[in-house]
Structure 1
Amino acid sequence: MNPEIRNIIYDNSLHWPDCVSLYRSFYRQILAYPKGDKPYQECYQRKFKTPTILLLCRRVTQECLPILKSRCFVIDRLPPFVPNGLTNITDFIGRRTLQSLHHIDIRIGLGEGPLGSGWIWTKLLDEILAILSERNSFIRLRLLVRMCDKRMVTRWDQERKYHQEIRKLVSLTKDKKMRDFKRANPNVFAPGEVIIEIWHIEGQTATFISRHPRSGDVDNTLPPNRIYPDREMFPGSIMQFVEALPASSWSDEEVTRRLGGANGV
């Protein structure tokens, strides 16, 4: 086959799935059990799939892998919820695949939903960093933080705590997560670049707040505002559909766990 045509086929065939496609298999397997019946996770069977084009022959695989690794893998939605909590990201993408990625984009949202969303995004972020601390191949990892609806004062009384957790990621003190992650990075001879961006979301407008490390642009021009339906800033969130239980239905332990008290999440 003509090399140009082959490259066009590779370019159109080789893409990482987005989170909607990644989680779709979970929802397709879930049956409508009556209330109080079997928990959802018992009926979900993990099944990883390899793109067919990578299984054709060794030569095609060798030609395809560099193209696939040049693509960015984006995590912009939370994994599905089950009665006992959040499913793990490794239920949908293998640990070895995560550790072999070259370009990773993690886009988290704070202040989403009536309960807020920092308590659950920080859990997912901890899981990803733990996996990458074991082994990684990333060249560039970007953490995009979207601060949503800061006018909701009562919600942000709690979200502010998680915002501080995220800000600690760029702190230079020795006990912070990202500094520990960099020091423990097993890819010590060629550590990847870690970028953290913070944006403020209000209504249908996203405004740039900060970036660490700062961009190398000479003029230091701030990025322009982003407007809905920009998918990078407005991906949609399952937290929009998670309703708060009446306060009378929560035990003291549940309140502490959800709001990040002494025991945390």
Structure 2
Amino acid sequence: MSTTSQGNRIKSPQSESNGETPKYHWNLQVLLREAIFGVNDGLVATIGLVSGEALSHQSHGSIVIAGLSSVGAAMVSMSVGSYLATVSQNDWVHQQIKEQQADIQNHPHQEAQEVTELLEDIGIPDRSIAQIRKDIISSRPRWLKFMVREALGVHPNHQETPLANAVTMAVAVMVGSSPPILPFLLPLPTLTARDLAWALSLLAALTVGAIKGRLTGSSLVLSSLQFGILASLSAAVGAGIGWALGLLGA
């Protein structure tokens, strides 16, 4: 299964070699990972920042500016990082597939023996291996597809789309940053906005944890607590730093 660094989607070795139009798809599992990562990063980083700003006796306007600047920078940084990481991974996979294709072309006997070993590893009965191997190596596209999946461990459903990952990450960071920053955008006293930001962030963390648990089939309670504890620790660290800096500046 090969990938194009420009299209950022995956096409099979068979389609590529036969000149057929490849079938593209989105990997929802990967997008879920990016979404969880982005929401968590946006939530944790922003609640820590606004907590520190609030307890270091910064003005309300300064907290808003710092918070929005942090959200914007995080969206750009995380989305670009996600895009570049995915492109790099896809390029590496593409290179591995090209090398596998060259190995089949240049060392067919050695690669045919590897087909036998792979069939043995997955538990194919000895009496069937010879015929199955013959069927596999009788077609170069089929042979390459088999080696890509079994030898390289690359499957079309596991490939990632850089642009989709980047957009998902950016939106997730923005969504995750909303609970801690929203109260400071309202006409509320700074301390009230701070307390409301803590409460909304904790509620958001518990909710995201529960959603993650629901989607992944894990314990809703445990998943919620993991996210809630992480957000609380971040708020505590940010508040502690802000409080200490406030004392130094007093």
On whether the aligned pair clears a TM of 0.5, the verdict is no
- TM-score after normalising by structure 1: 0.24
Structure number having the greater strand percentage: 1
Larger radius of gyration: 2
Name the structure, 1 or 2, with higher relative contact order (CA <8 Å, separation 6+): 2
Structure number having the greater helix percentage: 2
